[in-house]
Chains A and B, each alone.
Chain A
């Protein structure tokens, strides 16, 4: 059974069919790429998968469970976490607190326990700190733990978003242009980190990316989207050599 499967997923905005009959099948542990020209509907697919938009047609299955039409927070609880194309951090919170918000549903103590600082509060907070630092370390952000998120340089902000998403302990990680705005060195480092995350957490990752070096470097399979429709799907090498894909990208 595939970890993520969509059937005929579609959505229209007014007259525009932003996503049209989208089918995909991603196996557990796969690193999967979603590419396509600007405005092809890639981010819209992420928004559909995470319940930001409700599909006009079609179904979404996560690990065999139908999650179509569920609310964003329930989809996250079911195991889908994401990052955003336009970075969305909790700007005024520290780097560590950003990750701790991601840990919110995995660690519990009551409101009163928090206000009255019962022993349980200290115990759970210590566990959260430890876990948060572990995750930050993966992204080499442990040195910035107390920095306010908005003061991080751009590349680190992108990494922090991934760390925060991972903190929710997802089955599927959706990355929307994780390398956007990074320089070539940062991009290579990010590629290694993404691969590391997949191996260490046995994570399934679907990523949107314009950087072809990154895509061809780490994605095992690709789906190419054009005007809301799937242009072609398959092994990365084959897809990238497909003349239609080249045409869609270079235009005519």
Chain B
């Protein structure tokens, strides 16, 4: 019909892409003209990974309506598998960009696979089990990597959970993953430009998925599982789809993050519970289900503490507030019920009053 009359969702999507483009351009100009502090410069790639993480987590939390408390775990899987691959093939694949694209695919694939493995048993259950299991997963994966030793020599790949001596490498061998010290010397393939491109790819995938047949099915499950079943929606299939895509994209963020670091270690700070919660904070503050909001929140909340250094002291306070907000806006039926009552009691009367006054 009217081809040039853009629909509301198309407009909304264009806004989202536009915001990223504008922020990226401004940052790029500041960077090229040397107006960014070295501290901020160091933050550019991490911010890009946080944006990807927030957008991908929003797919699970806002679009699918399941709570995940271990998103950093998938990032961790993507980071280590891809860094491992890049170190292994550093001298084999010499074209950086080809190797990095392969690294991204590998990181996404392993993180996505992990999402499938975790989702398969858990997403079949009705109830908030995903939160508990992902929380445990995030911690376990971090701890496993901290005791993981992998080396390579002429005989092949050696693997141990004890120490580097237990690998029994030949004299010509080299250790790739060294327990708590992680992976050092990953080729530095990430850049701000690549980060921005990956954000666009993530947005493209997530936004187009949401506004497609599959996306509608996913949101239908979120809004009313019983009704979705009654119109023939395969609940498990679509929950798995959303969750594994979300995990794979977190893996991509991990790849980006890992290839920006000289030494990649799985510390509580970068891949632990704190990180998972921080991403959740971005999603909640940006608006659950609001992709544009996730982008903005991730950028603002990463830049803000750097600008106002003192903010760091209030982090725990902010966490507490945010957790309360999560409770208010969670999709779980009990919360919905509670929210309904709350709205009915405190919010609606005010608006009702306003509109009735306007009507006069």
Contacts and interface: CB of A to CB of B under 8 A. Distances in A.
Partners in one complex: yes
B58 to A, nearest CB: 14
A90 B63 CA distance: 12
A72 B214 contact: no
B174 to A, nearest CB: 39
A114 to B, nearest CB: 3
Contact of B216 (A76, A88, A89, A100): A100
A50 B235 CA distance: 16
Given A92-B223, A104-B217, A109-B213, A50 B230 contact: yes
A168 B233 CA distance: 10
Contacts, number: 94
Contact of B214 (A88, A114, A116): A114
A66 interface: no
Interface in B1-20: 8
Contacts of B8: 146
B233 A101 contact: yes
Contacts of B241: 111
B303 interface: no
B213 A90 contact: no
A73 B213 contact: no
Interface in B189-244: 204-205, 208-209, 212-217, 219-220, 222-224, 226-235, 241
B289 interface: yes
A89 B223 contact: yes
A124 B102 CA distance: 33
Given A73-B232, A101-B228, A101-B233, 8 more contacts: A97-B216, A97-B219, A101-B217, A109-B213, A114-B209, A114-B215, A115-B205, A165-B230
Interface of A: 50, 52, 72-73, 76-77, 81-82, 84, 88-93, 97, 100-102, 104-105, 107-109, 111, 114-117, 121, 124-125, 128, 146, 164-165, 167-168
9 contacts: A76-B231, A81-B230, A88-B224, A88-B230, A90-B228, A100-B216, A101-B228, A114-B212, A116-B208
